[in-house]
Amino acid sequence: MIEENRRAERLKVRIGDRNYQKLIRIDNPELHQFIARYVELCNPDRVFICADSQEEIQYIREEAIRTGEEIKLAIEGHTAHFDGYHDQARDKEHTKFLLPEGVDLGSDINAMERMGGLKEIHTILKDSMAGHQLYVRFYCLGPVKSDFSLLAVQLTDSSYVAHSEDLLYRPGYEEFVRVGNSARFLKFVHSAGALDSRKTSIQIDKRRVYIDLEDEVVYSVNTQYGGNSIGLKKLAMRPAINRASREGWLTEHMFIMGVHGPQGRITYFAGAYPSLCGKTSTSMLPGERIVGDDIAYLRKKDEVIRAVNPEKGIFGIIQGVNSRDDPILWRVLNSPGEVIFSNVLVTEEKGVYWIGKDGDVPRRGFNHAGRWELGMRDAKGNEISPSHPNARFTVDMKGLENLDSELDNPDGVVIQGIIYGGRDSDTKVPVEESFDWVHGVITMGAALESETTAATLGKEGVRSINPMSNLDFLSIPIGRYIENHLRFGTGLKNPARIFSVNYFLRDSAGKFLNGKNDKAVWLKWMERRAHNELKAIKTPTGLIPRYEDLKALFGAVLTKGYAEEDYIKQFTVRIKENLAKIERVKRFYTTKVADTPPVLFSTLEAQKQRLIELQAKYGDLVSPFKLG
């Protein structure tokens, strides 16, 4: 206690009276001690306690320009940020959980011994902020004054990170003041470390992202890339998943969107898709409403599932965004207003270009490699693209014309459908509904599988299983995670229906069988099914649409015809491929997961037997018309 009091006195001297007065408005000694400890350890030149006034937030925006972490662009409010050439993605190798002795999260989860990890990260953090300003930020993950929401404090010496989080998260200072000593909050410590002349992190060999679940602290050092440094994003998912598991709710890698139905009805869906499987394009479909594009907190309330978006902004991949396919985002990214572009090409006229943008590729400019010219190659002889494939944009969702009015509802929205989408060239039909909650959790969520693409991930067609599209962020064993989902569906008056979608089915010649806009029709079918307004055809793997219903929806939604031939190609049951998938899923859960719930194997076995029985009757390929 004596040392804590001394530390508090030293903190008052270090941060000055004005900052200290803002801090002590929050009646929480644990918070004060946390801040004092890392001020002493990281040793910044200055400390700025932000109480979320407009003047303070504007100060941080201006600091990002003054320090060179961001540069002004030609369009008012737009800025650009560059991460280091070798700091362009999440560092999976050095992102680790710090676990007490005897705790094991499973072989797929990167972890190390807690005390050793804390000693290492504190050694690296020592004096890491010397010469920098430390920004102390307070945020609310979710709507304020909501049972769903988590409070969080971010310590960072990057004005870019602080600025980004202002666009992505709700201000939390007044919530900390209101809750006071009873606050349970997540903690984040980030230092960009030593910087080069471009203000990018240079000690990449000492880049570390460590998650201490016991104290709910995330450490990030010697990195600026948002996925490693914007602590409240995917890094916050780890302790949130752990807390949710203990308390009986879910933290999911899901969008939340409202789909319009008849007579002005809006039905809310949550959807989980691995990368490059259509998650963003689905959540941003023109004519529908978006609540969130990436993360969802789900709770059972009054015998239904409700969800909130812990974010209020988007940190999105910008590659491929164009005026034809992404009209809403395009307008935001090309209009005055606050936008941070990271790792795009900045032209000499202070415009920006990214891979897939409308128009010709500029011949020169500045990007993550420095001064750039068309055809430029790196030291290994690889051509440097104008923007990095993982280049990003950061915007507040208030700029989106399709933003749903329920974003800040403290009670969340009622979820009536959950969608799992993967990239599958030869097995799953474009849209399908599960028989019930358990069948959906097992065969569509836990069995979620996706194929790699040659363009971005190396060898094409490599299939990987990614339970609920959340494998990279799990902080609990996979078996317990699945068990939590199964348990979550019990006691619900009207459980959300569970669907799977697949936009990437191909024919034998490699041609896609889905049109790019067909997802709008699949969504409308799911919306009608959520209200039990359309019948469905039972197959061994789930419930699929009837031809006459899809024909009517294609006409109403896309104003085009829908041929029986296309329906048969898309919704034929592919017996051999489905049986092979079951074996892949069983192998994953037998070899990689120690605590798989037995119901997973029994559910898969029952599906296997249904497929074998249908195969004996009709062969390997079964037209939906034989089942309807």
State yes or no: is 277 an active-site residue: yes
Structure confidence at residue 275 (pLDDT)? 83
Which of residues 546 and 494 earns the better pLDDT score? 546
Query: How high is the mean pLDDT of the chain?
Result: 94
Is 222:121 a contact under the CB 8 Å cutoff?
no
pLDDT confidence bin for 383, thresholds 50/70/90:
very high
Is 168:407 a contact under the CB 8 Å cutoff?
no
Structure confidence at residue 455 (pLDDT)? 40
Q: Whole-angstrom Cα distance, residue 385 to residue 318?
A: 14
Which amino acid, 46?
R
pLDDT(474) > 80: yes
pLDDT(4) > 70: no
pTM of the model: 0.94
CATH of 251-314+406-626, one of 3.30.565.10, 3.40.50.1820, 3.30.1280.10, 3.90.228.20: 3.90.228.20
Q: Whole-angstrom Cα distance, residue 432 to residue 421?
A: 11
Q: Active-site residue among 42, 50, 140, 277?
A: 277
pLDDT(452) > 80: no
Structure confidence at residue 103 (pLDDT)? 84
331-349 burial, b at 16+ Cβ within 10 Å, e below that, comes to ebbbeebbbbbbbbbbbee
Class of domain 315-399: mainly beta
- Of 287-296, 322-331, 342-351, the one with minimum mean pLDDT is 322-331
Structure confidence at residue 565 (pLDDT)? 97
Structure confidence at residue 60 (pLDDT)? 98
Structure confidence at residue 460 (pLDDT)? 61
Q: Whole-angstrom Cα distance, residue 161 to residue 50?
A: 14
pLDDT confidence bin for 2, thresholds 50/70/90:
low
What share of the chain has pLDDT > 90, as a percent?
88
CATH of 2-69+93-248, one of 3.30.9.10, 3.40.449.10, 1.10.10.10, 3.30.413.10: 3.40.449.10
Can you tell me whether residue 221 is helix, strand or coil? strand
Structure confidence at residue 534 (pLDDT)? 98
Helix (H) or strand (E) holding 185: strand 185-191
pLDDT digit string, tens, across residues 392-429? 999 999 999 999 999 999 999 999 999 999 999 999 99
pLDDT confidence bin for 276, thresholds 50/70/90:
confident
Q: And the tokens for 509?
A: 């010649």
pLDDT(456) > 50: no
Count Cβ atoms below 10 Å from residue 145 Cβ, excluding itself: 11
Which of residues 418 and 93 earns the better pLDDT score? 418
pLDDT(131) > 60: yes
Count Cβ atoms below 10 Å from residue 422 Cβ, excluding itself: 27
pLDDT confidence bin for 101, thresholds 50/70/90:
confident
- Of 85-89, 246-250, 294-298, 537-541, the one with minimum mean pLDDT is 85-89
Q: For strand 133-141 and strand 250-252, is the pairing parallel, antiparallel, or unpaired?
A: unpaired
pLDDT confidence bin for 457, thresholds 50/70/90:
very low
Structure confidence at residue 454 (pLDDT)? 44
The domain segmentation of the chain, as residue ranges, is: 2-69+93-248, 251-314+406-626, 315-399
